[in-house]
Amino acid sequence: MIDVKSILDDLGIDYKESGKNVSTSDVNIDCPFCGADKHLAINVRNGKTNCWVCNFEDVNFTWNGEAKRPNLAKVLVESSGEKWKDVKKAMEEWGWEPWVDSNKSPYSQSAVCRLPKNTSPAIDDSLALSYLLKRGFGTDTIIRYNLMCSKHESYKARIIIPIYIEGKLVNYTARDYTGHSPNRYKNAPSFYTIRRLNEALYNYDSAIGKARHKHIYLLEGPTDVWAMGEDSVAVFKSSLSAQQRNMILASGITSVTICFDRDAYSRAVSAAEELSPFMPKIKVIHLDSHKDVADLGRKEILYIEKRTEYFRD
């Protein structure tokens, strides 16, 4: 069966799982055709697509000489900006079967992860540096987390965020700094990486691998980690996976505070439920405002944490 969410994760396409305009059997993404925010629905069971705003009424493409409405493949190509061959690989890897039978072989992770071509430190990109400074992140953040920029077409106007495990580059994601892209984050295709995002924790080496903190903060995204500091890790805006849970439990950490965005509180509770049988000291912070950890900063999060009771499953 097709795994729509994993395909979207691999291609770096942001999606909404619940809330207004989201059916229980769908996830919603921004429509690449009319620009409607999180109104293009993708059925998680069969991959069928529809935009609730434009309904694809004025959008057609040609397939085998016939005019067709956009299907999942077309939507993914337009939303990700990737070439069809790369989108096809990601789709096949997560259960999609082509219309014509073929003797395809499975696609696996790469033995080596490399950053995009023409990559240089973000400190040398004036627009990226300006964006980071406005967000409250200085040159020390760029250096500490090895933030980069690239002239590669797919990663222009993005800050490339490398992900390391035990000193080895295993994956990367890229954050738009213009505010104009329909997708804030663009993830590296899985076949160019050593580990999938849901098999890694951002800032693992500093929070767990080297420092061996006994208490860590479990957050959603890289910018949250930049704001909270080196005793924090991020799960890349997804649910806590079994691999991520095991990385935490194998580390010797004795307590964790989980803080996701307001609209992802249920996922934070689910993460606590996953960890609670093995770790008695867990706090789940509920953010009352629409500001995230990166907006609030460490001081405010610590203040809220003090007023938060321990989680009980």
- Confidence band (pLDDT; 50, 70, 90) for 69? confident
Distance CA 124, CA 113 (A): 23
The answer to whether the beta carbons of residues 131 and 160 sit under 8 Å apart is no
pLDDT of residue 108: 44
Query: What phi and psi values does residue 174 have, to the nearest 5 degrees?
Result: -140, 130
Lowest mean pLDDT among 7-21, 52-66, 165-179: 52-66
Summarised one tens digit per residue, pLDDT across range 209-237 is: 865 788 999 999 999 999 999 999 999 87
Domain 204-306, what fold? Answer: Dna Topoisomerase Vi A Subunit; Chain: A, domain 2 (3.40.1360)
Residue that has been written with the tokens 């610590």 in this structure: 302
Q: What is the DSSP string of 45-61?
A: TT--EEETTTTTTT--E
The H-assigned helical ranges of the chain are 4-11, 72-80, 84-93, 126-134, 139-144, 204, 222-228, 242-249, 265-275, 293-296, 298-306
Question: Domain locations in the chain?
Answer: 4-93, 119-195, 204-306
Summarised one tens digit per residue, pLDDT across range 141-196 is: 999 999 999 988 888 899 999 999 999 999 999 999 998 887 788 888 777 788 88
What is the arithmetic mean of pLDDT over 309-313?
83
DSSP label of 264 = G
Instruction: State the average pLDDT for the chain.
Output: 87
Distance CA 205, CA 106 (A): 31
Summarised one tens digit per residue, pLDDT across range 241-298 is: 888 999 998 888 889 999 999 888 989 999 999 999 899 899 999 998 888 999 999 9
pLDDT of residue 42: 95
Q: 239 or 80: which carries more pLDDT confidence?
A: 80
Structure tokens at 10: 């691999």
Distance CA 119, CA 160 (A): 9
Domain 119-195 classification at class level: alpha beta
Question: What is the arrangement of strands in the sheet containing 40-43, beginning at the earlier edge strand?
Answer: 26-29, 40-43, 49-51
Distance CA 183, CA 72 (A): 17
Distance CA 17, CA 24 (A): 8
Q: Is the pLDDT of residue 106 over 70?
A: no
